[in-house]
């Protein structure tokens, strides 16, 4: 995966009323300023996602965590975080100019 995007993958939850997942991410561990919801309308929502460079507004070490939610709007606690250093392609181009 390129340095300007992030591919996230995790184990599927098994609750029968599972509706989707929420990816939370930001530049500081435990402080997540961005969210992305995943819900394809089935009891088996996808357990992986690609965040392209448009999701990131600055370069740096980004931290990611995932929660699950069900059809009663109950949301789990966040997973253990993971991190990746993001270097935006667009930013590099501006720097060259």
- What residues make contact with another protein under the rule CB under 8 A? 1, 6-11, 13-18, 21, 43, 47, 64-72, 74-84
Least distance from another protein to the Cβ atom of residue 62, Å: 9
Query: In the β-sheet with 34-38, what is the strand arrangement from edge to edge?
Result: 34-38, 18-26, 60-70, 82-86
**34 or 84, CB closer to another protein?**
84
**58 or 96, CB closer to another protein?**
58
Least distance from another protein to the Cβ atom of residue 79, Å: 5
| Ramachandran area for residue 4 (φ above 0: left; ψ -120 to 50: alpha; else beta) | alpha
CB-neighbour burial class of residue 84 (10 A; exposed 0-12, middle 13-18, buried 19+): middle
The per-residue b/e assignment along 57-70, b for 16 or more CB within 10 angstroms, e otherwise, is eeeeebbbbbebbb
**77 or 93, CB closer to another protein?**
77
Least distance from another protein to the Cβ atom of residue 56, Å: 13
Least distance from another protein to the Cβ atom of residue 96, Å: 26
């Amino acid at each position: 995966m390129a340095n300007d995007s992030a591919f996230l993958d995790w184990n599927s939850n098994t609750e029968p009323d599972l509706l989707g997942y929420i990816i939370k991410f930001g530049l500081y561990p435990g402080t997540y300023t961005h969210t992305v919801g995943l819900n394809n309308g089935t009891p088996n929502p996808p357990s992986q996602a690609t965040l392209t460079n448009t999701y990131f507004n600055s370069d740096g070490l980004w931290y990611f965590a995932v929660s699950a939610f069900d059809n009663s709007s109950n949301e789990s606690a966040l997973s253990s975080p993971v991190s990746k250093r993001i270097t935006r392609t667009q930013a590099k181009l501006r720097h060259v100019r």
